[in-house]
Amino acid sequence: MNIARPSVFLFSAWYPTEFEPLLGNFVQNHAKAISKQTQVTVIHPYEDISYKQKQYFVFQEETNGNLVEIRIRYKGIKINNFFGKLLRFIRTRSAYRKGIAFAIKKHGLPDIVHVNILTRTVFPAFGLKRKYKIPYIITEHWSRYLPEANIYKGFLRKKLTQYAVRNAIAVTAVSSQLKKAMLNHRLYNSNYYIVPNVINEALFCPAHIEKQKKSILHVSGLNDMEKNISGILRTIQRLSTIRNDFELLIIGNKHGQTFAKDMAKQLQILDRYVFIKDEMPNEQLPYYFNYSDFHLLFSNYETQGLVLIESFACGKPVIATRTGGILDVVNESNGILVTPKDEDELLYAIIYMLDNHQNYSTNTLREYAVGNYGETVIGNSFLSIYQESLSNNTKNYV
């Protein structure tokens, strides 16, 4: 075992694929930051939602320095009833077994397993712990534990999650509010840490882009229950009756676009004040962050909000709601906080920001992002947790 530079297998329920390039990009960012310090092998099964795949499993491996990404695409399941979910679970487990065997044969056994986003991802970690006595840590990003979300339900799910958390050698959450919510659900572990989301500071950096109108940006999965897209659109419609010197760019996945486009069309602001674009790989996003004057996030609940720190890295301020992990990130020096669901307050904040965004220091915002959420800072945080956890775990076995 190499405690100084432990090798890592990383599992995540969400990770970018050709079907959903932004899904779990915050996990991929963590993996990249960790790989600056030690060897990381990501193993990620995912479903072929095009249903065109003939083989049951297709392997894709990509290596970039110390980061190895092994994606196992499995044949899609069209039915969504109990039997469809069971079949999907079985294929996912089988894909994990094949991916782990492939990774061990090519890269050797890991020193530690890093599980992201419970609960199904913990099963392969259980297997490695039972067979090879390899410990695992958990990083949780999911907003389901937050009281505002109220979607962490099910007796068996809760018992399994409690067991998984209790048997991890460490647990990290991306914000203090998420940690508090997990503890309130009796997800106890003696080694809890806060490790926030990370930015790629080389990719997200300031750049001047000419434009004719003031521009607002919103990037998300466009889930209205969580992101309150409807509240944003209603507020923009009201703003359009006051002034016409602005535009809102919305970037999000196709699942939420239909709702957003239909509502914007009904409000008569689609392609006049609101312009909706398909989600895109991270490499294309910095252009839009730099094109915009500020980022808008009107979430009902949020674990942290990666887009906020990406905006800061590009030197842009934000408007966000006073909820969840956002409270760890946004303050009066880098943006404006508003009350969730308060569209009047949001309207006043947008008007103020349209007229005053230039008063926020690009350099100060950038320095805050890199100093607190840069790859070196976050990568070192995880490395320290691995080292301390493995050291304590070794002592327990002696």
Concatenating the DSSP letter of every residue in 53-99 gives --SSEEEEEEEETTEEEEEEEE------SHHHHHHHHHHHHHHHHHH
Give the CA count within 13 Å in the CB-facing half-sphere of 379: 23
In tens digits, the chain (398 residues) has pLDDT values of: 778 899 999 999 999 999 888 889 999 999 999 999 999 999 999 999 888 888 889 999 999 999 999 999 999 888 888 888 889 999 999 999 999 999 999 999 999 999 999 999 999 999 999 999 999 999 999 999 999 888 999 999 999 999 999 999 999 999 999 999 999 999 999 999 999 999 999 999 999 999 889 999 999 989 999 999 999 999 999 999 999 999 999 999 888 899 999 999 999 999 999 999 988 888 999 999 999 999 999 999 999 999 999 999 999 999 999 999 999 999 999 999 999 999 999 999 999 999 999 999 999 999 999 999 999 999 999 999 999 999 988 655 43
- Fold adopted by 214-372: Rossmann fold (3.40.50)
Tokens of residue 120, six digits: 């199904």
Equal fold, 8-198+374-397 vs 214-372: yes
Element (H, E) at 264: helix 254-266
Cα four-point dihedral sign 384, 387, 391, 394? positive
Task: Give dist(CA 245, CA 146) in Å, integer.
Answer: 37
Task: Report how far residue 229's alpha carbon sits from residue 207's, in angstroms, rounded to the nearest whole number.
Answer: 28
Q: Helix, strand, or coil here: 344?
A: helix
Q: Which of 197, 201, 164 is nearest to 382 (CA)?
A: 197
CA 187 to each of CA 125, 190, 252: distance values in angstroms, whole numbers, following the listed order: 18, 10, 32
pTM above 0.85, yes or no: yes
CA angle 124, 126, 129 (to 5 degrees): 110
Q: Cα separation of 72 and 56, whole Å?
A: 10
The architecture in CATH of the region 8-198+374-397 reads: 3-Layer(aba) Sandwich (3.40)
d(CA 375, CA 199): 6
Residue with tokens 């980022």: 295
Q: Which residues contact 284 (CB under 8 A, 6 or more apart)?
A: none
Q: Residue ranges of the domains in the chain? A: 8-198+374-397, 214-372
